[in-house]
Structure 1
Amino acid sequence: MEMLQTIFGSAFGYILPFLFVLTVVVFFHELGHFLVARWCGVKVLAFSVGFGPELFGKTDRKGTRWKLCAIPLGGYVKFSGDENAASVPDRGALEAMSEDERKGAFLGKNVWQRAAVVAAGPIANFLLSIVIFAALFGFLGRSEIAPRVDAVQPGSAAEFAGLQPGDLILQIDGRSIDTFSDLQRIVTASADLPLEVTLDRDGEVVTVTATPQLREVKDPFGNAQRIGLLGVQSSPKPEDVVYRSYGPLEALSEGTKETWFVVERTGSYVAGMISGRESTDQLGGPIRVAQVSGQVATLGFAALLNLTAILSVSIGLLNLLPIPMLDGGHLLFYAAEAIRGRPLSERVQDFGFRIGIAIVLMLMIFATWNDVMHLTSL
C-alpha cells in the first residue's frame, strides 16, 4: 500500500505541474488567435484546450464552444470555414455558404487579416513570457554577482587564456558584461568558439582570447547537458554581491530582455544542430517536459512560472517554423499569396499540408524517442 502511494504521489508530482505549464502556454497561444480573429470579424466555432473527446465545455452567446478535452497535449481554435483543427481550409464549405456566412468565415477575410490572426498565436506566447518574467523581477527582484574571477580551475580554458583571480570581466566579443550571469550565458552557449574577453586587471584593460571547452555537466536533478565551460569561479565577497529590486517599467524591460535571451539561445541551438555543433539528443517532447516540470516544481511556484515563460517562447518559435500545419507554414502560404496576388492552388496547398503532417509526425516521434532514451539513461 505504501509503495502504491509513493508511485501515485510521484506520478501526480509530475503530471500536475506538467498540466499547469502546458495549459497556460496553450491557452494563451490560442487566446491570441481567438482575440485577433474576433477583432477581424471571424466567426469562431470552437476554442479547445486539449484534443480528443470533450470533458466539459460551454457555448457562449456568439456561438463559440469553449471546451477542455481529454488529451492535454495542445489545443486549437476552429474558425468558420476550417476543415479541421489545424485550420486546413474547407473550400467546398465556403462555396456552399451564403454571402453573410462567408463574411464571417476565415477564408473570407483578406490575406493581411488572415496573417494577423495566425501570427497572433506565437506573438501571444512571447507576450506571456515577457509578462511572467516581468512579474518575477518585479515581485522577487534578483541577486547579482559581479563578473569578477575568484579562482581559475587548473587545465581550464580560462587558464589557457591567461585569466587570473581578481580579473573583472568587462566585455565578451563586444557585448557588455554586467553580472556573472551574463558571463555564464554567453560561455555556456559558445562551446569550442573563440571569445574575445576584455577585462580589468588592477586598473589596466586587458584583452585575451578564450575558447570555452565542451563539457557534459549534470543539473541538481541529475539531468545531463553539454555546455561550454570557461573554468572560473565567481567572487563570494559581499562587495561583489548586490540585490536589485525593480519598478514596473524596469521589470518590463528586464522581462523583455530575458525573453529575447531565450529566443537567442534557442536560435543558437537550432543553428548549432544544423551545423552539427550541437547534439540533437537535447530535443525533448511531452515526456521530457513533464519530467522537467515536476522537478522544477519542487523548487517552488516561482521556478515553475519561470519554466512556463521559457516554454512559452519555445512554443512560439516552434509554431513560427515555415512548416505547413504550423502557424509559420500558413504565414508562408499567405506571403506567397500577397506576392502573387492570388492564393496558391488547392493542389499545392494540399501537398504542402501533407508534407507538413509528415514533418510534424517525424519530429514528434524523434522527440519522444529522445525522451525514452533519456529516461532509460537515468
Structure 2
Amino acid sequence: MEIIGQIGHFGTGTLGYIIPFLFVLTLVVFFHELGHFLVARWCGVRVKAFSIGFGPEIVGFNDRHGTRWKISALPLGGYVRFFGDEDAASTPDRDALEAMSEEERRSSFFGKSVWQRAAIVAAGPIANFLLAIVIFAAIFALYGREITSARVDQVVAGSAAEQAGLQSGDVVLAIDGTTIESFNDLQRVVSVNADTPLTVLVERGGQKLTLTATPQRKEVTDRFGNVHRVGQLGISRNGSAADVKVQRFSVPEAVWLGARETWFVVDRTFSYIGGLFAGRESTDELGGMIRVAQVSGQVATLGFVALVNLAAVLSVSIGLLNLFPIPMLDGGHLMFYAVEALRGRPLSARAQDIGFRIGLAAVVMLMIFTTWNDIIHLTSL
C-alpha cells in the first residue's frame, strides 16, 4: 500500500512531469527516426510510415511519396516502417517479399545491399549524436560557459584531498593528463573515478607539484532530493568574483565543445557499465521512463535551456543504447549485417527469428528491471 500511495503522490503533479517528459522524448525520438528515414529515402527505399509513438493513430497525414506521418497514442518511442517490413521492428515480411515483383523488391528495405541496410540502421543513432552536438554547441555559442577557477578554497579534514597533500590556494592544472580548465572540469573527472588513484598536477606558490589522490565514494543529494554515489576529494571552490568568469565561444569552438561534451556522456556511460561488471557501481542508478519523466519535470523548473540540455544527454544515451548488439535494437541489426557481410549471405530465417526472440526477452526484462528501480526510487523520496 505504501508503494501505491507514493505512486499516487507522484501522479498529483502530472502536467509538471508529463509535458517536459513528452517534449524531451519526442525531440529525441523524432531525430532518431528522421535519421533512419532520410538515409532510407536516399537509398531509394519506400517508407510506409513515420510514427511518433506506438499504437492507434491520433493524427496524421500522407506526403507526396505515400509516407504516412503520424502521432500515435502511446508516446514512448517511435518507428519508421519500410516497404517489406512485417512490423515496427523491421522484421521482414517473408511472404510479402516472396510475392514482390523485381521492381517492388528494389524499393524495399530488404532488397537493398547489406551496406545500404547497415547505413539506414546506423543513421538513427548517428542522428542522436548529431542532435546532441548541435544542442550543446548552440548552448555554448548563445550562452557561453560560466567558469570557476579550479582553485582549492578549503580542504576537509580526513578527506582524500588532505591525504593526498592538497592545500588551500592550490590550483589544479590537470588530472591524469586531462587539462582542467575549471572547477566543474575537476568535479567531472573526480566524480566518475571513485576509489581510483589519480595523478593530480597542481600549481602552488608559482611551482608545479604532482600529487596522487584517490577520490572517496560518497552519497550526494542534489537539489531535488535525488541521491547519487560519486567520487569526492573533499575540497570546496572559491566563489569570489575574481575566480568566476563567463567564457564566450565562436561557432567553430562551440561545435568542438559540443562534440567533446557528447563524448563525455559516451565515456561516462561506458565507465558506468564497466563499473557494473567490476562491482564498483550499483544497478540502483539504472532508471526507466518513470525516472526520465521525474528528472524532466525537475530539470524543467530550472528553465528551458536546462531542459534542452537534458534532451541532448538523453539523445546520446538513446543513441548509445540502440547500438548495443541486442537483436530488436539497431545494434542487433548491425550485428546481423556484419555476419552477413562476412559470410556472403544472411543468417537463416530461423536463426534471425531466434535472435529477435532473445532480443525481445532481453529488452522486456530490462524494462521491467528499470521500472522496478524507478518505483523503489520513488518510495525513497
1:92 aligns with 2:95: yes
1:31 aligns with 2:34: yes
1:43 aligns with 2:62: no
- How far did 1:9 drift? 7.1
Q: Which residue of the partner structure matches residue 370 of structure 1?
A: 373
Query: After the TM superposition, which parts of structure 1 deviate over 3 Å for at least 4 consecutive aligned residues?
Result: 6-9
1:102 aligns with 2:102: no
Task: Tell me the number of residue pairs that the alignment of Structure 1 and Structure 2 aligns.
Answer: 373
Structure 2: distance between partners of 1:91 and 1:80? 12
Structure 1: runs of 5 or more not aligned: 1-5
Q: Which residue of the partner structure matches residue 277 of structure 1?
A: 280
Structure 1: distance between partners of 2:163 and 2:86? 61
1:358 aligns with 2:366: no
Matching residue within 21, 26, 37 for 2:24: 21
Secondary structure of 1:27 counterpart: helix
Q: Which residue of the partner structure matches residue 348 of structure 1?
A: 351
Larger CA deviation: 219-228 vs 83-92: 83-92
In structure 2, what residue type is equivalent to 1:69? S
- How far did 1:91 drift? 2.0
User: Equivalences for 1:158-237 in 2 at 5 Å?
Assistant: 158-237=161-240
Structure 1: distance between partners of 2:323 and 2:145? 32
Secondary structure of 2:54 counterpart: strand
Q: Which residue of the partner structure matches residue 131 of structure 1?
A: 134
Structure 2: distance between partners of 1:107 and 1:48? 20
1:267 aligns with 2:270: yes
Secondary structure of 2:293 counterpart: helix
Structure 2: distance between partners of 1:73 and 1:144? 37
1:312 aligns with 2:323: no
Q: Which residue of the partner structure matches residue 326 of structure 2?
A: 323
Structure 1: distance between partners of 2:247 and 2:331? 39
Structure 2: distance between partners of 1:290 and 1:10? 11
Larger CA deviation: 231-240 vs 310-319: 231-240
- How far did 1:237 drift? 2.9
Larger CA deviation: 320-329 vs 85-94: 85-94
Secondary structure of 1:277 counterpart: coil
Q: Which residue of the partner structure matches residue 67 of structure 1?
A: 70
Structure 1: distance between partners of 2:259 and 2:136? 8
Identity of aligned residues (%): 67
TM-score, length-scaled by structure 2: 0.96
Query: For residues 259-298 of structure 1, what are the alpha-carbon distances to aligned partners after superposition, in whole Å with 9 as ceiling and x for unaligned?
Result: 1111111111111112111000101101000000000000
Structure 2: distance between partners of 1:296 and 1:76? 27
Q: Which residue of the partner structure matches residue 151 of structure 2?
A: 148
Q: What's the C-alpha RMSD, in Å, of the aligned pairs?
A: 1.2
- How far did 1:99 drift? 1.1
Structure 2: distance between partners of 1:25 and 1:114? 22
Structure 1: distance between partners of 2:361 and 2:114? 26
